[in-house]
Amino acid sequence: MMITRIFAATAPEGGELPNPLLPADYDIIWSSVIFVILLTFFWIRVLPSFKKMLDERAQAIEGRLAEAEAAQKAAEERTALVEAEQAQLRAESSSIREEARSEGAAILAELKQQAAQDAERMVEVTKASLSAERDAASNALRAEVGALAIELASRIVGEKLKDDAVANRVVDEFISELEGKKV
Amino acid sequence: MDAVNIAELTGNIAVVGYGLAAIGPGIGVGLVVSKTIESIARQPELAGRLQVTMWLGIAFTEALALIGLATPFIFG
Amino acid sequence: MLGLFAAEDGEYKPPTIYEFYPPAFLFEGTPFELNRIMMIRLIVMVAIIVLFWVWTSKFNKAVKTGNVVPGRFQLLGEMALNFIRKGIAHDQLGEKDGERFLPLLTTIFFMVFGMNITGVIPFANIAGTSVIGVPLVLAAVAYVTFIYAGVRKHGVRFFTNALFPAGVPKPFYVLVTPIELLSTFILRPVTLALRLLMNMIAGHLLLVLCFSATHFFFFQTDGLFPLFGAGTLVAGFLVTLFEILVSTLQAYVFTLLTTVYIQLALADEH
């Protein structure tokens, strides 16, 4: 029964019971005034600086992130540079080694060739000298053999064959005959 | 008090009215909350959204009880 | 005047509706009449302004010094403001529209919360929202705002969309349109105001009931009756906790519902 009495309390001095659903004019006025003041306060002062602070913070955090990113990028670049240098050096050394190897091979080949040439030349020289000696010997022999033969023939044949021209022709014919036989 | 009356009731019938008006919303709020709990148990990752919806549901349901509380002022 | 001291003579006196009509002490009879509840409202307003003024200067200082890490006190303010900004406005309306209506929503939330919580603050002991002025004004503001949002976005089509929802067969409009009219344009603001007002009235009456009963049992009864007083005291304590919860919840629900109404008005199709 309490609730009933709450709502049905006797009005003081015969006045009518107030209805809590009907606003009094001062009630509405004070509520509106307070609302407008608070709205203006939040709209103009609190929220703009709150938003500004959040933006600033987001920016600062973003800036720091960008900084870190840049630093990382720089480090990466440096690493890449070092690596490239290393690769270059490695390539260079390997190319030098390759070059040296090929150069050595070339030198070896050259030496071999030279040796071969030398040998060939020596052979040729020897051959030439041999043939020259042989020629000389054969010429000398030819001359001597001719003279001896003529002497011998003239001794055998006598005075008839003293004419030199005839004698030389006969000897040459004889020698070429001999050579023909030899071949 | 009359001798015929064994038990006498005093008071306002509006109180009984409010008692009746509170039954429906009471059941309603219970249903809203129980269904929300079931849903959260099923999909805990949606808990945040489900709770917002639950408060909305409670607010709408509860309004009926509060309208019941207000009727004595309107029709009293 | 406080109802806590309602029982003066031997008989128990329950709280009455006059709890909410304390005598005026300033400008009596004028439209600027000040009574205890109006005074509490003004004090709450000043408290909110002072509190947020301090927070704002913290924010400004943080911007000026480029300090990114907020202190504990500043963090509390950020959490409070972000609760509306992120938790309600951005969540329901999206970034763009959320920012547009943010000042209104923030004001509604902190005004309702500040005036609700005075119901359990000692020496105030009555919620500033337990008289219909504040709920009514805020509900009217919410009403005007969601109609403004709808008309701004859809023009006259806002009303036709709301009253003649798409996908309903034409003859049913006879039934649907009055219901829509009632629920959208009449019941929404009425329930908004009533929900807050009635919660606060009922809460205050419960508190007064418990504490005046305690007072009555302790000081006006003999024998074993004071034991009941212990029970009612515990009950009053529990109701106080409950009222703290209700204060927060009602502020949240009021703001959330305003946001949802705006969102429904902005939605393309109903």
pLDDT tens-digit readout, C181-192: 998 899 899 999
Q: Which residue of C has its CA nearest to A44?
A: C103
Q: Do B63 and C194 touch (CB under 8 A)?
A: yes
* Residue type present at position A28: I
Domain contains A151: no
Does the residue A135 lie in any domain? yes
Per-residue pLDDT tens digits for C11-26? 677 777 788 888 888 7
List chains touching B (3+ CB pairs under 8 A): A, C
DSSP code of residue A16 = P
Banded pLDDT at C2 (limits 50, 70, 90)? very low
Contact B12 A21 (CB under 8 A): no
Q: What percent of chain C has pLDDT over 90?
A: 49
Contact call for C253 and B63, based on CB within 8 A: no
pTM above 0.90, yes or no: no
Beta carbons of A46 and C201 less than 8 Å apart? no
Instruction: Pick the closest to residue C260 from B49, A32, B67 (CA basis).
Output: B49
CB contact under 8 A, A25 and C31: yes
Within 10 angstroms of residue A63's Cβ, the number of other Cβ atoms is 12
Instruction: Write down the mean pLDDT value for chain B.
Output: 85
The pLDDT, as a whole number, for residue B4 is 60
Against chain A, the chains showing at least 3 CB pairs within 8 Å are B, C
From C250, which residue of chain B is nearest by alpha-carbon distance?
B59
Nearest to C17 among A6, A24, A42 (CB): A6
**Which domain, by its residues, includes A87?**
23-143
pLDDT in tens, C55-77: 999 999 888 887 778 889 999 99
Beta bridge partners of C26: C34
Question: What pLDDT band is residue C3 in, cutting at 50, 70 and 90?
Answer: very low
Return the ∠ at Cα C224 (arms to C222 and C225), rounded to 5°: 65
- How many domains does the structure of chain A reveal? 1
- C110 touching chain A per CB within 8 A: yes
Q: Name the nearest CA neighbour of A5 among C73, C18, C147, C87.
A: C18
Q: Least CA distance to B12: which residue of chain A?
A: A4
Looking at chain B, which residue has its C-alpha nearest residue C257?
B56
Task: Tell me the CA distances in angstroms from B19 to B23, B58, C148, C230, one per residue in order.
Answer: 7, 19, 39, 27
Residue in chain B lying closest to A8 (CA): B12
Q: Which residue has the higher pLDDT, A46 or A150?
A: A46
Q: Which of C132, C195, C196 to mutate to test the interface with B (most CBs of B within 10 A)?
A: C195
pLDDT at A129: 86
C-beta atoms of A27 and C131 within 8 A: yes
A20 at interface of C, judged by CB pairs closer than 8 A = yes
Give domain status of residue A162, yes or no. no
Tell me how many residue pairs between chain B and chain C have CB atoms under 8 A apart.
33
Confidence of residue A57 (pLDDT cuts 50, 70, 90): confident
Q: Which residues of B touch A8 (CB under 8 A)?
A: 12
Q: Which residues of A touch B71 (CB under 8 A)?
A: none
CB distance C131 to A31 below 8 Å:
no
Contact criterion met (CB < 8 Å) for A28 and C137: yes
Number of A–B residue contacts, CB under 8 Å: 20
User: Given an 8 Å threshold on Cβ–Cβ distance, is C253 in contact with B59?
Assistant: yes
Quick one: pLDDT at residue B44? Answer: 93
**Which residue in C231, C194, C192, C193 sits closest to C209, CA to CA?**
C231
Which of B18-32, C2-16, C21-35, C213-227 is predicted with the least confidence, judged by mean pLDDT?
A: C2-16
**Closest by Cα among C195, C194, C206, C189 to C243:** C206
CB atoms C194 and B66 under 8 Å: yes
What residues of chain B lie within 8 A of the CB of C256, using their CB? 52, 55-56, 59
DSSP state of C128: G
Q: Do C63 and A52 touch (CB under 8 A)?
A: yes
A63 pLDDT band, cuts 50/70/90, is confident
Give the percent of chain C with pLDDT over 70: 95
Is C107 in contact with A20 (Cβ distance < 8 A)? no
The residue type of C151 is: V
Given a contact cutoff of 8 angstroms between Cβ atoms, the answer to whether B71 and B65 are in contact is no
Instruction: For residue A117, tell me if it sits in a domain.
Output: yes
Kindly state whether residue A173 falls inside one of the protein's structural domains.
no
**Between these two residues, A145 and C82, which has the higher pLDDT value?**
C82
A12-46 pLDDT, tens digit each: 444 566 788 888 888 899 999 999 999 999 999 99
Residue-level pLDDT at A78: 93
Confidence at residue A109, expressed as pLDDT on a 0 to 100 scale? 92
Interatomic CA distance for residues C270 and C268, integer angstroms = 7
Chain A residues close to C59, C-beta within 8 Å: 49-50, 52-53
pLDDT of B76 > 70? The answer is no
Q: Is the pLDDT of residue C1 over 80?
A: no
Residues in chain B whose Cβ is within 8 Å of chain A:
10-12, 14-15, 18, 70, 72-74, 76
pLDDT reported for residue C252: 94
Whole-number Å distance between alpha carbons of A38 and C53:
12
Q: How far is A6 from chain B (nearest CA, A)?
A: 11
In this structure, are residues C254 and C105 in contact, taking their beta carbons and an 8 Å threshold?
A: no
- In whole angstroms, what is the distance from residue C134 CA to residue A29 CA? 10
Q: What is the pLDDT of residue A159?
A: 57
Q: How many CA atoms lie within 13 A of C67 on its CB side?
A: 12
Taking an 8 Å cut-off on Cβ atoms, the answer to whether A43 and C63 are in contact is no
